[in-house]
Amino acid sequence: MPTLLGIPSMNRIRSKVRRGLEHLLFRLDTTKYIVDRPTLDYQPLPWVGVHSAGVRGRGSVSRWEDIAARVPPGAGKAALDIGSCYGYFAIRLAELGYNVIGVDLNPRHVRIARYATPSHLRPTCNFLEMDITPQNVGTLGTVDCTLLLSVWHHWVQRFELGRATDLLATLWHHTRDSLFFESGEGEVIDEFGLPFMAENARTWLADYLHDTCTGSRVELISEHVVGDYEHYESREVKRGLFLVARSA
């Protein structure tokens, strides 16, 4: 609102400056030379004009299509996206009516996700910068739907299998309805010290999810391209997408 003298109020100036700084930070976070086009590697953000993502863009869009087809109706429900990266899945869930919190330890990821969230979804789509550990995972609260996509193998590497299992079990304990799960598989066994062999990764993971998430029904929904990481031996590597649902 302009003041009586026609000069914009300080509050209005402050909020314009704040928005300008957020825009500048987004460019610092996503461009090489600030004036060039924002680019991302893992998830696209169509809400801010980033329609593809170099490495995992295709796999992110196709994963979402399969999740959206199975996720329970969202109105008034709560969801957590663990390791939310740039916020693609959290924002998509909010578009379905979920109250969502995306959690990620990387401050750059969280900044980008907040910037990309359309203003009409801001009341229901929030991002928390937090390094989830076995000590603090229980503070995240209970939700209807949890996404745990390509994060568990990082936990195995960092905490070892026993504590990665405790983290998963706690998240499941706090999930009322469904948990979508994906892990690195044969392509990263050595890099992350994973407890299966390439040939049996999917069956091992299905049994492991069933044993860890008590009272669940586990379904391998589909598989999705990971992207052409230079250090992977083969191209078109795929990871399985699992649905862990409460059995009736």
Ligand X SMILES: C[S@@+](CC[C@H](N)C(=O)[O-])C[C@H]1O[C@@H](n2cnc3c(N)ncnc32)[C@H](O)[C@@H]1O
List interacting residues with ligand X (CB under 6 A). Answer: 42-43, 60, 83, 85, 103-106, 109, 131-132, 149-151, 154
Whether residue 247 contacts residue 175, with contact meaning beta carbons closer than 8 Å, is answered with: no
CA distances from 168 to 75, 165, 206 (A): 26, 5, 13
CA distances from 205 to 4, 183, 199 (A): 66, 8, 12
Minimum CB distance to ligand X, residue 25 (Å): 18
Judged by beta carbon, residue 60 or residue 124, the one nearer ligand X is 60
Minimum CB distance to ligand X, residue 87 (Å): 10
Judged by beta carbon, residue 70 or residue 247, the one nearer ligand X is 70
Minimum CB distance to ligand X, residue 149 (Å): 3
CA distances from 147 to 32, 74, 152, 217 (A): 31, 14, 11, 16
Residue nearest ligand X, Cβ-based: 83
Residue holding tokens 């869930």?
93
Minimum CB distance to ligand X, residue 30 (Å): 14
108 by DSSP, 3-state: which?
helix
Judged by beta carbon, residue 84 or residue 99, the one nearer ligand X is 84
Judged by beta carbon, residue 43 or residue 99, the one nearer ligand X is 43
